[in-house]
Chains A and B, each alone.
Chain A
Amino acid sequence: MRIRAYSLIVLALVLFTAMIAPEARADSATSSEYQVKAAFLYNFIKFVDWPKEKTTDGNEPIIVGIIGKDPFGELFEPIEDKPVKGRKVVVKRFKGLKELEESREKNESERHKQIDIIRKCHLLFICRSEKTKFKETINLVKDHSVLTVADTRGFLKSGGIINFIMEGKKVRFEISVAAAKQAKLGVRSQLLRLARRIVEEEQSNEVEK
């Protein structure tokens, strides 16, 4: 069989055009998947209780943080008009820990400021780009009652509280009650009931569903 010349020319032209084209907006890996996950995060807020020190001012918004390479884009926009527990929800985005470390040399005070804001989050979604920094990121917030969530295998093992998993085409989640207790968070039974897996005591006593 002969390879037709026009096929090769088309291939070369498109590759060439692709390489010299201008930069475009970042794209998420699977947006409809993250639409669903965004809605899950919004629901998690309803079923998790934060300690009083984290909710003293009833007018303060609930802060959802996203650290690392953000896969959600503008998917959280609709929740700006949808208060939870009588409070507004605000989404804040943060650079990954590696980038924060790199910025230390340039501006130490800016770095501290960023870390303070991260610690003020009620819920922190730690993106896949932070996989190698899970433990450091969790340690950064573990004493500040932050509900840590990710969608990466091994997240609970690193000390995270909720991890999304995929069962075929459906989104499921697993919860570490041990990590939630350590963060002084109360996870309501309605949420626990739906979890695919529950880690009761630091990975040693799992309840299979």
Chain B
Amino acid sequence: MVTQKKSLTQKSIVVLMILLVFVLNVQLLAKEQDSNKPDDLFEMTIEQLMEIEVASTATLTKTKPRLVPSAMTTITQEDIWASGARSLYELLDIYVPNLQWLRHHWEADVMGLRGIIGDRNDKYLLLVNGRVMNERTHMGGLSEQDLVLLGDIHHIDIVRGPGSALYGPGAVSMVINIITHNAETFEGTEITSRLGAVEEFYAGEIRHGRKFKDGDGGLFVYAGIGKYIGADKHDAPQTYPFTFPTQSDYWWDSTDTGPPSLPGDGTQAGDAMMNAPLGNDGGSARDLPPLKLHIQMTKGNWDIWARYTRGGKEFTPHTGIIARHRWGWADWNNMWWNNDTSTQIPWNANFYGYQQATGYVGYKQELAENLNIDYAFSYDMFDFERFYGNTVIDAYREDEYYGKALLRWQPNDRHKIAFGGEFSHLELGLKNLGWPEIDPLCARLGAMPRWSTNLYSLLGEHQWTINDKWTTFLGARLDDHTYTDLMFSPHAAVVYTPTDKDTLKLMWSRSVRANFEEEMRAQAKAGGGVSDPEVLDSAEIRYERRHSKNLDLAASLFIHYNLQAIAWDESTNTSSLAGTQREYGLELEASYHTEKTRLIISHGYTKLYDFDMEPDRMTSLPTEPATYITAKPYGYGDDLTNWANHITKLTAQHKLNDEWTLDASLRIYWGFPGMKDFDEYYPYTTSEGADDSSDYSITHPVIEDGWERAYRGNYYLNLGLQYKPSNDLTIGVTGYNLLGIFNKDLNKRNYVETKGAGDFRSHAPAVAVSLTYKF
């Protein structure tokens, strides 16, 4: 049993931070006492009123912003611009409380919230204008998260917490809803150019919006193209926790005429790996330029849009494939740099790539003043490919045909009801349009047959305004998938508003996640029947206080008391319950904003309190564990593996004058104790690519004794300066991950599911400039 030790320093810093927030709040409260009258708004000028933000909603039925029964974060286009974010990952990491972002060695980067994170992004839904954009075969939320092109986004609503009752299967940890610009929100023509150095990239964007002559509706068009070269191994070093051997009969580069050498030849444990053809951090897949196109027309009750995105990234090799350990090497023929021309693969780096094209038609039918029906019809095409270990692992396309009808009825002033249905038809195992020379194949099935699935859904919500102080929300959703039993996701919430300033929300829900299509298909083929979905039962109590027009405070206490985590079983080719995860947490938020200054701080704490591993999924060493959620069942600690229990985020903006604005953001992941526990239990890395089972035998752990660096905190500091000489021109410069100038370990980004590799890669301290001009 390993005892969980937290350093005194870390504890002290957390306590100090909390005290600081508290003291700051108290001081601000004291200062704001006099400006806390309800008629403040009437003292404001029109210019000041135009700067006030009004919250949006996250319910089926319309409601007051303060009554929205969830914790929600909204990121505006001004926030996007101020952050200088180079991807959606980075943007959300900066602004969303208790959201965490980790790398992966052979899948896309992953994001999680409140301790719920997977090896792929299938525990949350990514939406654009309310339409789910998740890939269904293998990856989950994937498209556009890596893109540096963000100029089409008007704002993003992040519903923090489970939301299957509203959004459907997959909304377990959160829902990210990107709302694009349209002719109502953007008029004129604007170009943006961005250039990044050290982590090198180039991006050009143009957007144009115009209203129709009659003032009813209009057209919005956006196009963006980029080139993302990324940061090289010197600026973004990869660090392994073992020493590489120094002798071999092989050359890693066939053109090398020097003495025999190997990747990482002689690199000492903990040294940045330089002696290897390590790809750039953040480099685009296949050197294809990232692309995004969006066109949207609104007219009367019609909303029609089409969208195309293309992207993808290179992976940094995993220990299991770059090298075995000091007792040997992985299968040489399976190494990615050993490029075999017979495979006709012209690239020598691991990568994933995608392209997605979506068409959407929405219409609102107004039957009466208090009765309308929203209709939506949509087609979506998703191409995905993945290349790893000199092998094409995935190359396929999936097509979705989607329809929805939602009736909204307000029978009287107290009741609002929404009820409707959705239908989704998926065609799977289609030929990849971007890579047509490869026949459809995927990780679980190998060569893919063509098949299809259907999802039928019924959903409804009832909002009841009992009186001035009490409002209830009750909703439920039923989903029936070809390869699952009926899935039921209810939610209930009570919102209490005792005063104009105070809001108390009590929320309960059950959310579900159906497994990936490839795994459900594989299970059915293997005679395993329908797949069980992942289930999360949770409750949350949230307090919000609009203390004054300048200061908002919020606190959420949540508990996931029943998260039935499913995991794939290679031996039976089925997915089954691995264990029941239970955790609780606390989120504190404060937002202070004046005409010139804005300061937002949040702290998230998440703690595993139980994990009941299913007896038949328990393993013993050196067998690879069935799940990487925690090493607790094996007696190693009591924390989540892929999670920092504490995370603090701070963003600040100060307008020096009409022309100059300063921006800053700081994110602190306060260490990964659960990851350390896991690697102490299983320090052998995966068997992937092994040519000798003794390589990962119990007597030969990979990780050096006393390896700590991977599990310490991560600290990301960005500073920005904006110059706006006129209404038409804005110039910005942002410095990223600046603490890495002093120590690159401070900027490390850990890998999810390292499988005992214990390695990490640091983000490069970098700089970018941007220029926006409006014609």
Nearest A residue (CB) for B508: A10
As a 0/1 sequence over residues 71 to 87 of chain A, the CB contacts with chain B under 8 angstroms (1 = contact) are 00000001100100000
As a 0/1 sequence over residues 1 to 45 of chain A, the CB contacts with chain B under 8 angstroms (1 = contact) are 101000100110011001101011111111111011011101100
Partner of B49, one of A10, A40, A190, A203: A40
- CB neighbours (8 Å) of B391 from chain A are none
Taking CB atoms and an 8 Å cut-off, the chain B residues in 50-88 that contact chain A are: 50-57, 62-66, 74, 76-77
- CB neighbours (8 Å) of B512 from chain A are 1
Taking CB atoms and an 8 Å cut-off, the chain B residues in 350-392 that contact chain A are: 369
Nearest B residue (CB) for A82: B42
Bound-complex Cα distance A40 to B74 (A): 24
Partner of A169, one of B56, B63, B535: B56
Whether A169 and B76, one on each chain, are in contact in the complex, defined by CB atoms closer than 8 angstroms, is yes
- CB neighbours (8 Å) of B462 from chain A are 14-15, 18
Taking the nearest CB of chain B, how far is it from the CB of A144, in angstroms? Answer: 24
Taking CB atoms and an 8 Å cut-off, the chain B residues in 453-507 that contact chain A are: 462, 464-468, 472, 474, 476, 484-488, 490, 492
Number of A-B contacts (CB under 8 A): 163
Partner of A25, one of B37, B211, B467, B492: B467
Taking the nearest CB of chain B, how far is it from the CB of A92, in angstroms? Answer: 18
What interface size band does chain A fall in? 35 or more
- CB neighbours (8 Å) of A32 from chain B are 54-55, 64-66
- CB neighbours (8 Å) of A203 from chain B are 213-215
- CB neighbours (8 Å) of B466 from chain A are 21, 24
Stretch from A55-63, A114-122, A134-142, A151-159 that touches the partner:
A151-159
> Is B345's beta carbon under 8 Å from chain A?
no
Whether B472 and A14, one on each chain, are in contact in the complex, defined by CB atoms closer than 8 angstroms, is yes
Whether A1 and B487, one on each chain, are in contact in the complex, defined by CB atoms closer than 8 angstroms, is yes
Taking the nearest CB of chain A, how far is it from the CB of B393, in angstroms? Answer: 31
- If A1-B486, A25-B467, A199-B215 touch, whether A169 touches B74 (CB-CB below 8 Å) is yes
Bound-complex Cα distance A180 to B155 (A): 33
- CB neighbours (8 Å) of B214 from chain A are 157, 203
Bound-complex Cα distance A41 to B49 (A): 11
Partner of A168, one of B62, B76, B415: B76
> Is B595's beta carbon under 8 Å from chain A?
no
- CB neighbours (8 Å) of A19 from chain B are 415
Taking the nearest CB of chain A, how far is it from the CB of B425, in angstroms? Answer: 22
Bound-complex Cα distance A27 to B66 (A): 13
> Is B700's beta carbon under 8 Å from chain A?
no
> Is A53's beta carbon under 8 Å from chain B?
no
Taking CB atoms and an 8 Å cut-off, the chain A residues in 81-101 that contact chain B are: 82
Bound-complex Cα distance A3 to B76 (A): 39
Nearest B residue (CB) for A84: B42
Nearest B residue (CB) for A21: B466
As a 0/1 sequence over residues 232 to 259 of chain B, the CB contacts with chain A under 8 angstroms (1 = contact) are 0000000000000000000000000000
Taking the nearest CB of chain B, how far is it from the CB of A74, in angstroms? Answer: 10
Whether A42 and B42, one on each chain, are in contact in the complex, defined by CB atoms closer than 8 angstroms, is yes
Given contacts A1-B486, A167-B184, A171-B54, 17 further A-B contacts (CB under 8 A): A1-B533, A3-B488, A10-B490, A24-B413, A24-B414, A24-B468, A26-B413, A27-B64, A29-B63, A29-B64, A36-B54, A78-B37, A169-B55, A169-B56, A171-B50, A172-B50, A206-B211
15 A-B contacts (beta carbon < 8 Å)? A1-B512, A10-B492, A14-B472, A18-B464, A25-B468, A27-B64, A27-B413, A30-B57, A38-B41, A79-B42, A165-B184, A166-B184, A167-B184, A204-B213, A208-B187
7 tightest Cβ-Cβ pairs between the two chains A and B: A78-B39, A39-B41, A26-B413, A169-B53, A18-B464, A33-B54, A3-B488
